A = this chain, B = another copy of it.
């Protein structure tokens, strides 16, 4: 990640927010892993290790604030949990082509950048009259590791 603790502090200050250890801890948790898709509960547990007194409500409030400022993004992988990831602005600068590959066996999630949907969307606009602004694409299948395992067993 391109942001460290100093970067987070600047980010918060720049938005007129107070720089608190709780906020730094939540940001740090979300940005520490390259391809993180954490739930609120997971963030809470990570943050609690470093800051045992933090309350779950603070985690939720911080998430809410960070979402509004587009510092983080909310994603739904449809496994019953709401997840959060580093905001695309601070990641790749490109959300429109950011998709998720979800392994149906181990649940691993990885992001993928691709831009092959223009034609697809154009066709749909022609057929339906709908004017497409954005899309959300989830691909379900088997990740490389689970494919290897299956082959060994066969």
Contact = CB atoms under 8 A, between A and B. Distances in A.
Copies of this protein, total: 2
A142 B147 contact: no
Nearest to A120: B116
A120 B123 contact: no
A6 interface: no
B121 A139 contact: yes
Interface of A: 76, 78, 99, 101, 103-104, 110, 112, 114, 116-117, 119-121, 123-124, 127-144, 147
29 contacts: A76-B78, A78-B136, A99-B124, A101-B124, A101-B128, A101-B132, A103-B130, A112-B124, A114-B120, A114-B123, A114-B124, A114-B127, A116-B120, A120-B120, A121-B139, A129-B144, A129-B147, A130-B141, A130-B143, A130-B144, A131-B141, A131-B147, A132-B141, A133-B142, A134-B140, A135-B138, A135-B139, A135-B140, A137-B138
